[in-house]
Amino acid sequence: MKFSNKKQIRKNAATWQYCHKFIWSFIFITTSFSSIYAQLTLRLKSLPIGTPTSDKIYVAGNFNNWNPSDTSKMFKSQKDGSLSLTFTPSVSALEFKLTRGSWATVEGSAQGGFMPNRKLNYSGGSQVEDLTIAGWEGQSNQNSTAAVNVKIISTQFDMPQLGRQRRIWLYLPPDYAKDSTQRYPVFYLHDGQNLFDKATSFSGEWRVDESLNQLATSGDIGSIVVGIDNGGSSRLNEYSPWRNARYGGGEGALYARFLVETLKPYIDANFRTKKDREHTAIGGSSMGGLISMYALMEYQSVFSKALIFSPAFWFALDSSLQHVVQKGKQQPLKVYITAGTKESADMIPDINKMEK
Spell out the per-residue pLDDT of the chain, length 356, in tens. 444 455 554 555 555 455 555 444 444 444 444 444 579 999 997 788 778 878 899 999 999 999 999 999 999 988 777 899 999 999 999 999 999 998 878 888 777 777 889 999 998 889 999 999 988 876 655 568 899 999 999 877 999 999 988 889 999 999 999 999 999 999 999 999 999 988 778 777 899 999 999 999 999 999 999 999 998 778 999 999 999 999 999 999 999 999 999 999 999 999 999 999 999 999 999 999 999 999 999 999 999 999 999 999 999 999 999 999 999 999 999 999 999 888 888 899 999 998 87
Cβ of 278: how many Cβ atoms within 10 Å?
14
Taking CA atoms, 271 is separated from 147, 148, 180, 181, in Å, by 19, 17, 10, 11
Using CA atoms, how far apart are residues 14 and 200, in angstroms rounded to an integer? 69
Is the Cα dihedral 81, 87, 92, 98 positive or negative? Answer: negative
Give yes or no for a contact between 250 and 240, defined as CB atoms under 8 angstroms apart.
Answer: yes
Q: Which domains does the chain have, with CATH numbers?
A: 40-136 (2.60.40), 144-355 (3.40.50.1820)
pTM over cut 0.75: no
Distance from the first to the final alpha carbon of the chain: 104
Task: Give the three-state DSSP class for 166.
Answer: strand
E strands, 172-247, in order: 186-189, 224-228, 243-244
